Amino acid sequence: MFTIEHEFDSTVVTLVDEGAAPLQEDVIINAFDMCITVEQFDPRSNEVQKITLSMAQLRDLQAALDLPEGSYRFAK
């Protein structure tokens, strides 16, 4: 299951893990004009872990999901 919300400066997508246990914590993705952040609560540290991807990194990740093993670079 997932939700989509439009905030003032970003679009927020929340991915909810459903199904058989053990379940993972929700993943929250914030899409801004210049970057994407991915957050997930870590129950071991009791903190939210956050990573930030540039738009170029997001483009590379999107392409990587559909490519076989290897090393790639987009042509300019």
Report if residue 13 sits inside a domain: yes
pLDDT at 76 over 80: no
Report if residue 42 sits inside a domain: yes
Distances (CA, A) of 19 to 38, 41, 51, 73: 22, 19, 26, 37
- Strand, coil or helix: 61: helix
* Total domains, the chain: 1
Report if residue 72 sits inside a domain: no
Residue range 7-64, pLDDT digits in tens: 999 999 999 999 898 899 999 999 999 999 999 999 999 999 999 999 999 999 999 9
- Strand, coil or helix: 13: strand
Domain that holds residue 20: 2-64
Report if residue 18 sits inside a domain: yes
Report if residue 74 sits inside a domain: no
pTM for the model stands at 0.85
